[in-house]
Structure 1
């Protein structure tokens, strides 16, 4: 396939000049042409995207200019190239596109373009006709969901990605590739999809509604890979198709989804000669199975070619492998050592004696199992042990992780590097080279079929349970090692490391949850002992599944928060808090109190204030009983702010005073820094700026000592608000610059969003309303990306204030009423008061 040149970007200066001549903002233009997301206007001006015909016409009407005068004419070639794209996009009707936010709904998300389809490292052999057929289906207006069906190893994923490349220019908003290889729980499909769409959730609005909102009116292809283990989530796909008229879905699966919208496309094996009759060597290249074998053999032995002598063996090998690409690649990988005839002889032996014990599997799956086992039997015993234990990993793993885990399981010395090299040479292991910006060392992983075989072999050898337990323990130790360092100067490194092994964390936590009692009756059957009763008993108690699940959830909390994986964390926190066992064990009670604090904090962030109160209150009670001062300080501040939102200001102040005394007594500088910030923010909200400044200065001092850049950047944004309240714009600007640098170094969007809030406050203080509107538009777009509905509403209050100052009372009323509706729904009384006060000012100005 010819590589396309990167698209040149030509800014539209004419459109921008006409807008600025009228002193209009991007939002002004968007409102006039009934465009849902105002940042799109900026992208048109920068040349990043081009308006659809519907919007080009509206722009000409609004500006009273021709298309040429607005820079909206394309060349003939460019017009023809985009004609199918424009036709494919649904044009919103003016009757259904709101001019302003509707109560309870966020504004329409930014225009998106997604392209995360994996690049191929090898040539694509023999399936151009299939690519064309699938492309034809996906461009048929009556077909919305296509499932590529076939056994493991048939090449469904590769065919799907080739189709995506072929249709890249067709889908205007791109292609989103989502792999479900690491999960088997249908309940995780939605959050996995949201993460692939970079929709980091943290809002009271249901996650499904957030995804629908992002995809609505988009012309986009979802490529859902390895969906068979989560196919019970197929109704979710139908629901998305109903609501999002512009999307199409391409699924790879071993099993039919049984969806009403589904169009089944069976992926056939590669073409092989029908009979073993004599063939001329050059004729065999016409068969894609033979061509694939030759290409892969040459990767290991550059001189390999078809001869009259080896042709019959090649034909029979491909016939016996049913033309399955993965099976062919496994066999061809041995061509460096064995001739085709020798390979055929070994293949005959393995097929005769090695039959899969999995009688429930389809015949073609059993053939793949046999092929893997045949390759497995070529290994030395130590290499076989290594191969099957690599199946414990859910995804890519570093050499360090592999060495540490497998060494703990082996009773014999291991030559890990040599063993991995052998598995790589035999195509039983894959190597992933890190991209720029990721940790530098390569990662190793098994293909799904290989991993499945490895787990079955572990089970047959009686090694699976012990291996999974060691895997879960290893990653529990890793996250507990990382937890304190995520609050230190090593924060960036550990964030990247945990991101890299996110699939392993999920599998390990799930293992503990599944082995924990979920009700009091089953909990009574689990033996718990006091930590003080002895080292040996304490070791057993420490690994009790419930305790470990709680420890895991607590240790992962900072990672989830920094990355904005709030829906994922919400799922796990509720799961572990539903577990029972260890109620009388101090160590278990202590960690449960910490998880309750974490859950209460997240519930507060999502504005589930009733649930936040319950969890924080329980955390306070348990922490007091355990004398866990650090957690008690955090729980007290969380409970105080929950009460503050519910207008219980006196009680909130009492709890904050206690939290500060507790943090000071704990001797923990990180706890003290964060408690000082929360108390200082309370004083700021109450209008006590001098007291707030004193508290924030002390908070910044301790935060710098700890080295937690995330906390420092966040605390600095609170300090900015205090400086601006006292008219210190210059100092506020300096603090904002520092917090912005810290946020950019960490690269976490939730933190970048907070810094953007500070920048908006500064330009508002400078009465630069044009810049403030632009920044507010950017902040709304970022809040939509994060799913941060509370912040969206707070930005509407700012826009309402600006509109009031500029005399646009209608717009001011729309903004503020939208925010008020949301705050009332969440019972957020402090912000309700702000919105009502601003509405009163608008009414007075009328």
Structure 2
């Protein structure tokens, strides 16, 4: 960081001395965000890593500030009038000290009283805020961040002295990004000094000016800047002088653009969080991305656009200050509404394209989810725009988008947001919307309510979807809603109706050839059996569902099927297999960001840990799982929750309050995916200490005995009332655990004491 040592020390001291609310104020582009980030990094150790950065650049509604802060802290937001404020009131007073950095607060300054309310209740919380204006709250400490001081324009100024000036140092640093060997010397000293003086030392303006050294000399930059500054003499007088100076730098950069570059610059302002080239081309109204490449490259060279990457996909983005300036230019142009309409149409189409794909389509499920995540802010902006359009077209488009995005919201845990958009779209659409679309929207709303544990609401939504789909003779929509309603009933212990609904759903799926629907309904039926204690049948169905999801390359389905199968194996006292499937489920879920599935797998591993006496590991895993659930507002079935809480109570009793609390905090602070393996401070699994024959579950011993006696897989299946596939899977596990390769070796092991029931006369080793 250049030239901020005094301000940094002052703010750091305030924060460490316990100031509850510190606000860094200053004009746009002065470096408030960078300074706040530096303070956060320097303070991280003091807070044990509990420093959270919240960018409010895309939050324009003051009412969303508190929920956004709550989400950053992983607080579960209760439903009701209090909402997010109640999440803070209900937070434990023993919560470790936490520093929250809120960036770009000036556009939601009306939320200031809510922050005061939170701070009054949460003694463990401190806030560091960046804003163009102070909040004017009691107890607020304001640090005004001024532009960098600039060198005096005196004849005796030396090169060495100029280099120590922060504004000049920043110019040199930024210039070297485009001219690696650039430096201040006797030939350019006067020009560089005048440049930073004319820019008033505003960091963003200095950086923008330096970025033009790729195509212009310092003298040419200064000449253009002189002309533009003169032209701004009659600029808006209601803006602060320094903001007029920053605006002059941006205005000057904009002036350097040709017509095509200027049009693209304005177009880029409608994107939130950036975009890829394909979306830019679509909104710009060209067919080929190659048509926009020259203008894009020019904007990159002029430092008006940034190149960023999300995964392996390059994207274009703007600094928020620059985007706001470009948006002003768009407002003055005659094509503003055309550009916004093109943006809405592009992301409506993209939502349908990505949201309606399944399995391996569109580059695979993980890639689709990543693309949806990268453009989430754009989908939000598009939804806002289409909902504001009059007539049926806008309402229908909003409903179509919401239904298409519902699976993404559900998988990634955006439950509150999904519910919000679906309600808004359905209320705007009204009863005259296409019945299939309304049925799908009701089912989507039911699924999201189910994910939140709002079972009455989920039931009502699913029933509405069933009725609508039935009246309109839409079998696929009806089957989806039947499955959803069955899942609600199963979670609440209403097993008879749940079974009837699933049978009807499966029959429809079979009739219309819907493999994806069959996979989900099969998994749901298996869950029903698991709730009823029919564990062998549940496991067999989970494996069948896993096979169907595998055919579709559906990572979400495979992750959940594996985690559910592990639950069944745990119930059947098969810990080795359960651990293997939980870990695989955790890997798959973490790979594509399935937070709820990550939590479920960790909960299962935690339950196994308790049964095997690894109480610290159990506590850490369960704490991590609950942190994940709280961050997304996810719930689980009442029966499962009661069981898990009872097991955690066992762990607490075994560890004592002090050790339990320490393990709990470690778990919450640990990356969930890293807990797939047993934490290093835990005792090794019981199974790893046992003799080989102790590794076999009761069912595996039964299979081993019959196989060693010479029965084929088919006969073993018939004898035990299970499928041949299940027998085959058991034998694979038996061979692996016992390190044998055939029935002959299995029989030999059994004859020599592994299976006392086995006699030599009964053993046929020819198979």
TM-score, normalised relative to structure 2 = 0.76
The answer for the alignment partner of 1:444 in structure 2 is 316
Matches within 5 A, 1:732-751: 736=582, 738-751=584-597
| Match 1:584 to one of 407, 413, 432 | 432
1:682 has 2:528 as partner: yes
The answer for the alignment partner of 2:197 in structure 1 is 319
Q: Counterparts of 2:584 and 2:186 in 1: how far apart (Å)?
A: 72
The answer for the alignment partner of 1:272 in structure 2 is 150
Q: Counterparts of 1:773 and 1:341 in 2: how far apart (Å)?
A: 67
The structure-2 alpha-carbon separation of the partners of 1:420 and 1:772, relative to structure 1 and needing over 3 Å to count, comes to: same
After superposition, what is the alpha-carbon deviation per residue over 1:600-654, rounded to whole angstroms, capped at 9, x for unaligned?
A: 1222232323322322222111111233322211212333444556665554444
TM-aligned CA deviation for residue 251 of structure 1:
0.8
Q: Counterparts of 1:646 and 1:337 in 2: how far apart (Å)?
A: 68
Alignment check: 8 A CA contact 1:278 1:312 kept: no
Q: Point out the structure with the larger helix share.
A: 2
Q: Counterparts of 1:478 and 1:510 in 2: how far apart (Å)?
A: 16
1:156 has 2:156 as partner: no
Matches within 5 A, 1:37-436: 124-141=1-18, 143-197=19-73, 206-210=83-87, 213=91, 217-273=95-151, 279-302=157-180, 304-306=182-184, 310-353=188-231, 361-408=239-286, 415-432=291-308, 434=309
The structure-2 alpha-carbon separation of the partners of 1:695 and 1:339, relative to structure 1 and needing over 3 Å to count, comes to: closer
After superposition, what is the alpha-carbon deviation per residue over 1:292-319, rounded to whole angstroms, capped at 9, x for unaligned?
A: 2333334434554445665444444333
The structure-2 alpha-carbon separation of the partners of 1:649 and 1:130, relative to structure 1 and needing over 3 Å to count, comes to: same
TM-aligned CA deviation for residue 457 of structure 1:
1.2
The structure-2 alpha-carbon separation of the partners of 1:619 and 1:552, relative to structure 1 and needing over 3 Å to count, comes to: same
TM-aligned CA deviation for residue 131 of structure 1:
0.9
Q: Counterparts of 1:164 and 1:761 in 2: how far apart (Å)?
A: 37
| Match 2:330 to one of 458, 470, 480 | 458
The answer for the alignment partner of 2:599 in structure 1 is 753
Q: Counterparts of 2:609 and 2:554 in 1: how far apart (Å)?
A: 28
The structure-2 alpha-carbon separation of the partners of 1:342 and 1:615, relative to structure 1 and needing over 3 Å to count, comes to: same
1:485 has 2:362 as partner: no
Alignment check: 8 A CA contact 2:20 2:126 kept: yes
Where in structure 2 are there 5+ consecutive unaligned residues?
658-767
Question: Which has the larger displacement, 593-602 or 714-723?
Answer: 714-723
Alignment check: 8 A CA contact 2:24 2:32 kept: yes
Alignment check: 8 A CA contact 1:201 1:567 kept: no
Alignment check: 8 A CA contact 2:619 2:648 kept: no
The answer for the alignment partner of 1:838 in structure 2 is none
Q: Counterparts of 1:145 and 1:785 in 2: how far apart (Å)?
A: 28
The structure-2 alpha-carbon separation of the partners of 1:550 and 1:786, relative to structure 1 and needing over 3 Å to count, comes to: same
1:507 has 2:381 as partner: yes
Q: Counterparts of 1:202 and 1:676 in 2: how far apart (Å)?
A: 32
TM-aligned CA deviation for residue 708 of structure 1:
1.0
Q: Counterparts of 2:614 and 2:38 in 1: how far apart (Å)?
A: 44
Alignment check: 8 A CA contact 1:223 1:250 kept: yes
TM-aligned CA deviation for residue 786 of structure 1:
1.6
Alignment check: 8 A CA contact 1:593 1:623 kept: yes
Where in structure 1 are there 5+ consecutive unaligned residues?
1-123, 517-525, 529-543, 812-846
TM-aligned CA deviation for residue 460 of structure 1:
1.1
SS of structure 1 residue aligned to 2:212: coil
Question: Which has the larger displacement, 699-708 or 400-409?
Answer: 400-409
Q: Counterparts of 1:620 and 1:359 in 2: how far apart (Å)?
A: 61
Alignment check: 8 A CA contact 2:77 2:86 kept: no
The structure-2 alpha-carbon separation of the partners of 1:422 and 1:681, relative to structure 1 and needing over 3 Å to count, comes to: same
Q: Counterparts of 1:763 and 1:316 in 2: how far apart (Å)?
A: 68
Q: Counterparts of 2:494 and 2:546 in 1: how far apart (Å)?
A: 28
Alignment check: 8 A CA contact 2:458 2:488 kept: yes
The structure-2 alpha-carbon separation of the partners of 1:144 and 1:281, relative to structure 1 and needing over 3 Å to count, comes to: same
1:551 has 2:400 as partner: yes
1:785 has 2:663 as partner: no
TM-aligned CA deviation for residue 409 of structure 1:
8.6
The structure-2 alpha-carbon separation of the partners of 1:802 and 1:335, relative to structure 1 and needing over 3 Å to count, comes to: closer
Q: Counterparts of 1:546 and 1:648 in 2: how far apart (Å)?
A: 37
TM-aligned CA deviation for residue 250 of structure 1:
1.0
TM-aligned CA deviation for residue 795 of structure 1:
4.6
Alignment check: 8 A CA contact 2:607 2:618 kept: no
1:560 has 2:409 as partner: yes
| Match 2:448 to one of 602, 614, 617 | 602
After superposition, what is the alpha-carbon deviation per residue over 1:574-593, rounded to whole angstroms, capped at 9, x for unaligned?
A: 33233234x3242xx32222
Q: Counterparts of 1:736 and 1:634 in 2: how far apart (Å)?
A: 27
The answer for the alignment partner of 1:706 in structure 2 is 552
RMSD: 3.5
The structure-2 alpha-carbon separation of the partners of 1:381 and 1:796, relative to structure 1 and needing over 3 Å to count, comes to: same
Q: Counterparts of 1:442 and 1:215 in 2: how far apart (Å)?
A: 44
After superposition, what is the alpha-carbon deviation per residue over 1:379-408, rounded to whole angstroms, capped at 9, x for unaligned?
A: 222222222212121113233433343344
Q: Counterparts of 1:306 and 1:288 in 2: how far apart (Å)?
A: 13
The structure-2 alpha-carbon separation of the partners of 1:314 and 1:707, relative to structure 1 and needing over 3 Å to count, comes to: closer
The structure-2 alpha-carbon separation of the partners of 1:668 and 1:358, relative to structure 1 and needing over 3 Å to count, comes to: farther
Q: Counterparts of 2:647 and 2:219 in 1: how far apart (Å)?
A: 81
TM-aligned CA deviation for residue 660 of structure 1:
2.7
The answer for the alignment partner of 1:17 in structure 2 is none
